[in-house]
Amino acid sequence: MADDTGFVLEVRNAAKIFPGGITALEDASLAVRAGEVHCLLGANGAGKSTLLKIIAGAHQPTRGSILVEGREQRFRNPHEAARAGISMIYQELDLVPQLSVAQNMLLGRTPARLGLIDRKARLRRAEAALARIGAQFGPEARVGALSIANQQLAAIARSLTLDARVIIMDEPSAALNETELARVFEVIREITAQGVAIVYVSHRLPEIRAIGERVSVLRGGRSIGTFAVADTTEQSLVEAVLGRNRQLLERAGRAPSPSARPALEVRRLSGPHGLRIADLQLREGEIVGLSGLNGSGRTTFLRALFGDLPSEGEILLGGRPFQPRRPADAIARGVGLVPEDRKVQGLVLGSAIYRNATLASLRRGTWLTHRQLGARAEPVLTDLSTRYSDIAQPVRQLSGGNQQKVVFAKWVLAGSRILLLDEPSRGLDVGAKAELYALVRRLAEDGAAILVASSELDEIYVNCDRIWVFHEGRNLRCFELPQSSRDEILEAGLVGHREEQA
């Protein structure tokens, strides 16, 4: 189908300047071949999402052109892009959970006769698309009842009903565990074999290696280049993404050894979703990682410790018994939670930076002035090297990494000595991740005790002193670092995984 250029989709020297002179994209080019998985890589703010929106018709480029199968196109809206065969799957899947898979797939294009819905035609078309991806759920399943991975697959199937030639997937892996991701990859391979091209956006280099054929890198609104994945080292990709500001995620030699004083001792703890934790200790100045599959109980454990989920057991905190019934109990004893989803659980997005930072430390007084609050927040925010233009600006306007620092500042201000971090780097680019973990290490050096739950082993492997592998609500095994190898830890997770399958 591709024309003589051989590309199904081509973006040439696209630029986007928003009203007010903000340049989101300076000069981006992208050439996608039919049937390939073309990865797009770039730090936050590199212009990835602007480029995607231009391709999908949600933005109009200020300069530059888009060619679909060799013909220049000007999309005025996403519908026109869809008609030209370009379909976008957003990170926050835009499916209606209350409706069935078939209803969602043909939403807005429901087959009808004389205004009456043609249910048979709808089912037929949905079934055909689901068959192409080998889905294990039917067209009448309610979308809300599907797992995130299956919802992802339903979204892909929907693109197929649009006869998409190019499907753009914006960080599809963010909410998936490894098994689910493998399934999504399988489907991607199937549909690329049918000639559909995939533009795959991800921060995770191993994924790009697993699925991508070529990768284009954006930095500071410009295209840096396109590389064949097989011939490119991770090192050189990281360099392309970060340019001169490169801060590699390397195992840092942590200077002070953890003091012997135990900060937290979970002798036994049982809670919802089959949580049963035994003999887990955390010392002052120590960073302990929690690894395991999604649903292995990492998040449940942290929320139970924070008093957000009911639990029972025997916990010592600073040597004294600790039975958190509500978050306020935990906060009063110096425990802070950096929750999984900073936008939904961590921050009041529309509220000022300093008001978010001081939110957990207000109960000591009844009266306050905003000048005082700002003065209290500012040194801590500065200390955490948070970048903002006005401390009174809504926290929504900050980048992801800086938003996360505001959440950290909240607990520093509340005097927390034990920090529970649940997927703290989710959605952050490589540079922001490195900065985040540098901050975590510094807090530990100052004596804080830190638990980090993460689905990315690499990340905690290089930053933690020990790693607990969780499985089905239990803490399976503890690995000392750096003595244990990455493979050993991975295997422990996989052993649990095999048992799960049996």
The binding site for other proteins (CB under 8 A) comprises: 306, 308, 326-328, 330-332, 337, 339, 344-352, 354-355, 359-360, 362-363, 365-371, 374-375, 378, 388-392, 394, 396-397, 410, 414
Q: Which is nearer to other proteins, 71 or 364 (CB)?
A: 364
Q: Minimum distance between the CB of residue 477 and other proteins, rounded to whole angstroms?
A: 30
Nearer to other proteins, 171 or 422 (CB): 422
Phi/psi of residue 417, nearest 5 degrees:
-110, -15
Q: Please, which residue, 369 or 501, has the CB nearer to other proteins?
A: 369
Q: Least separation, in Å, of the C-beta of 420 and other proteins? A: 11
Cβ proximity to other proteins: between 112 and 368 the closer is 368
- 285: Cβ contacts below 8 Å, ≥ 6 apart: 256, 258, 259, 444, 445, 447, 448, 449
> What are the phi and psi torsion angles at 217 (to 5°)?
-115, 135
- We find the least distance from the C-beta atom of residue 412 to other proteins, in angstroms, to be 13
Q: Which is nearer to other proteins, 103 or 361 (CB)?
A: 361
- Asked if 160 and 129 touch (Cβ cutoff 8 Å), the reply is yes
User: Which C-beta is closer to other proteins: that of 335 or that of 430?
Assistant: 335
Distance of alpha carbon 59 from alpha carbon 481, whole angstroms: 47
Q: How far is the CB of 371 from other proteins (least distance, A)?
A: 5
**Nearest C-alpha neighbor of 282 from the set 469, 117, 396, 444:** 444
> Can you tell me whether residue 66 is helix, strand or coil?
strand
Cβ 394 to other proteins shortest distance, Å: 7
Q: Which residue has the tokens 């003065």?
A: 375
Long-range contacts of 353-356 (CB under 8 A, 24+ apart): 353/377, 353/381, 353/386, 353/388, 353/390, 353/391, 353/392, 353/393, 353/394, 353/395, 353/398, 353/406, 354/378, 354/381, 354/391, 354/392, 356/395, 356/406, 356/407, 356/410
- Closer residue to other proteins, CB minimum distance, 154 or 331: 331
- What is the three-class DSSP state of 417? coil
**Alpha carbon of residue 378 to chain centroid:** 28
Classify strands 63-68 and 112-113 as parallel, antiparallel or unpaired. unpaired
Question: Residue 76 or residue 371: which is nearer to other proteins going by CB?
Answer: 371
Residue with tokens 């003091």: 259
Between 405 and 410, CB nearer to other proteins: 410
Nearer to other proteins, 332 or 490 (CB): 332
Report in angstroms how near the CB of residue 341 gets to other proteins at its nearest.
Answer: 9
Report in angstroms how near the CB of residue 336 gets to other proteins at its nearest. Answer: 9
Peptide bond into 111 cis (omega under 30): no
CB 52, min distance to other proteins, A: 19
Give the Cα separation of 477 and 489 in Å (integer): 9
Shortest Å distance, C-beta 395 to other proteins = 10
Cβ closest to other proteins, residue 75 vs residue 411: 411
Residue 17 CB: number of other CB atoms within 10 A? 14
Contact, 448 vs 283, CB < 8 A? no
| Residue 444 token pair | 């530990």
Kindly state the smallest distance separating residue 410's Cβ from other proteins, in Å: 7
3-state secondary structure of 262: strand
